[in-house]
Structure formats: structure tokens, C-alpha cells
Structure 1
Amino acid sequence: MRRKHRRLVSNPELDITPFLNLMIVLVPVLLLGMVFTQIRMIELNFPGMEAGEAPAADDLRLVVALIPEGLEVLDSERGVIKTLPLVEGEQDFDGLRETLKLIKKRVPDKTDIVLEVGPDIDYQTLVTTMDTLRSYPAVIAASVVEGELFPDVALADSPEDRVLSGTGEGA
């Protein structure tokens, strides 16, 4: 005689409590982490003109040369405006900022500048120079705001044999 064994068929309950606990912890952590992973971008314009485009004769083409020996502010048409040698082994960003503020007062509509970078310049110096070219801290109504200098920065390579033209002011 054969016995028929019935299998017990039971539908187990689906327990989603651990999953919900995980979501309760994970979602806020991911949302908070999004704030810290924002990427800052610096928009760069590379030198050069469109085909058939000619620059106006009166245009001031500002160039800042960044080399290991210092900084030079030039007008590509008229020559050196100011030479800023190293100060105590560091680039003279304060002198550059003051020079650019004086130029901006004379030519308030100008927004572009070319930054020529020497071959042995480290990344942090390049970024600090670009920040200096773009804006300066200004105090207005007892609060510090960023004053605009030349926000449209174009990058170019400086010749490897470039040296500072001297000290002081030029043309």
C-alpha cells in the first residue's frame, strides 16, 4: 500500500522590513552626498579667430605671461605694460590684481584676456592666476562681493625661452 504524502503548500509572507530600513538610511545619505560632489568648471576660450575675421585696429589685446620667474602684463600691439617678478619666491598675484584693476578702469567694456603659461608652471599656480584674472574681492555696503575683471580667459603656451623683460612699468 502506497501512501500519498501531501506536501504542505504555504505562502510565506514577504518581509520587506530590512529593505525599508536600508532605504530609510540610504536615501538621506545619498541626497546629502550630492551637495558635496558638485563639479566646478572653468570655461576656457582658446586663442585664435574665425576664418575671415579681422581684429579692429583699436582693440586692446591683453596678454598675461605666467612663467616661473614671474608675471608680465602685455598689450600684444604696444608691448609690456607691467613686469611683476617673484616676491619672496611666490608669484605676485596682488600686484597683478592691482594692475588689472587699473586697466579695467581705463577699458571697462573689455572682458577677454589671454593667459600664456610657461612649461614649468604647476596646476595650483595656473588656477590661482586664472581666479586673479577673473575677479577681485570688493567691499560694498559692509559685505564682500566679487568685482569683475576679465572673466573670458583664453589659454596659450608661452615660448620655452621666454624671460621677464625687466622690472617695473612698460608702455
Structure 2
Amino acid sequence: MRRRSRQIKKLVRHKRKPAELLLVPMIDIFTVLVTFLLMTAVFSRTVILELRLPVQQAEFREPPPGLVLEVLVRHGAVQVADRNTGPLATFPSTAAGYDLDGLGAYLQRVKAKFPEKVDATLLLEPDIPYDILVQVMDKVRVFEVRQGSHAVQAELFPDISIGDAPALTQGSSS
């Protein structure tokens, strides 16, 4: 009797099919998941800023009286100027880089004096790194204000136009 039960158990074991592990659907799922996550990671870090290019010389109109703010980024300094009157402030660069904190503080004072002003022109010399462009744009657009325990961004000059900085003349320095 014992032999028979062993034989029956063997037959039952042989009749059972081995469990299948379906890898193809799992690979498909992971492929779609990884693709989706990669695309989401790239697009979540991309921010679009609306920029206005300077008007053509043929379309030049007489500017209204008041401040025409320009921020010139040169290899040795950042300069804030009024197109009508000339340079207002210069922030020389140091070994650590450009003085963007000084630029931001000065632009806050300009905004306090001209609260209705919302536009500025950012003029860069050739070969200024893109990272510097973005940092200067951030300082020109907004500044942080502490309200209680958290920081809030306040608007400075959000309408930014970008152009090429005029070449320095022989007698002037940066």
C-alpha cells in the first residue's frame, strides 16, 4: 500500500506543470515606466521665461520721460545704466564671481524710486556664460522677501529684453 501511495504522489508531481514566470510583460511595463519617468524628470526642470527682443532701429519711438533701465554684463563687471543719462552703478566682479547680491540690492532701491517701472534691458558681452545670464535675469526679475518663517518672491522688473552690450570705446573701462 505504501508503494502505491508513493507512486501516486510521483504521478501527481509529474502531472503538475512547472510555474511559468512571464518576463516579457514585466519588461514592457518597466520600459514604459522608465521612459515616462525620464521624460517627466526632464520637463519638470524646464522653465520657460517670456522675453522680448529689442525693437528694430527702424521702429524706434521716442521713449517716455523717465528711467530706461539697462543692465550691462561685461567680463569684469555688471553695470546698471539709464539709456538716457548713462551709468548709474557698477559692480566689479571678484575672484568669487559677479556681485549679484549688490546688483539685487541696488535694483530694489531703483524699484522703490520707480515703482511703476516693469521693464529692463539686459545687455551682454559676447562669450558671457549662460549660467551668468540666468543668474542676472533672476536678480533683475524678482527678489526674495521674508514673511514670517518663509520667503516670498516679489517682482522687480519682469519684462526683460535681451541684447548685445555695446563695445567699449578706447577711453572707457569696465
Q: Which TM-score applies when normalising by structure 1?
A: 0.75
In 2, are the aligned partners of 1:67 and 1:120 still within 8 Å (CA)? no
Partner of residue 36, structure 2? 31
Partner of residue 90, structure 1? 97
CA separation of 1:52 and 1:130: change in aligned 2, threshold 3 A: closer
CA separation of 1:30 and 1:125: change in aligned 2, threshold 3 A: same
Partner of residue 14, structure 1? none
Query: Residue 121 of structure 2: SS of its match in structure 1?
Result: strand
* Percent identity (aligned): 30
CA separation of 1:20 and 1:120: change in aligned 2, threshold 3 A: closer
Partner of residue 156, structure 1? 163
2:129 to 114, 122, 128: 122
CA distance in 2, matches of 1:52, 1:92: 35
Partner of residue 140, structure 1? 147
Please identify the structure whose Cα radius of gyration is greater: 2
Per the TM alignment, residue 96 of structure 1 is displaced from its structure 2 partner at its CA by: 0.5
CA separation of 1:155 and 1:29: change in aligned 2, threshold 3 A: same
Structure with larger RCO (C-alpha < 8 A, sep 6+)? 1
Q: Report whether the alignment pairs 1:45 with 2:52.
A: yes
Structural mapping, 1:68-87, within 5 Å = 68-87=75-94
Partner of residue 102, structure 1? 109
Query: Residue 154 of structure 1: SS of its match in structure 2?
Result: strand
Q: Per residue, is there more helix in 1 or in 2?
A: 2
Q: Which TM-score applies when normalising by structure 2?
A: 0.73
Per the TM alignment, residue 103 of structure 1 is displaced from its structure 2 partner at its CA by: 0.8
Deviations 1:6-25 (A, max 9, x none): xxxxxxxxxxx544222332
Per the TM alignment, residue 56 of structure 1 is displaced from its structure 2 partner at its CA by: 4.5
Q: Supply the AA of the counterpart residue of 1:22.
A: I
In 2, are the aligned partners of 1:136 and 1:148 still within 8 Å (CA)? yes
CA distance in 1, matches of 2:60, 2:127: 33
Per the TM alignment, residue 62 of structure 1 is displaced from its structure 2 partner at its CA by: 0.1
Q: Report whether the alignment pairs 1:113 with 2:123.
A: no
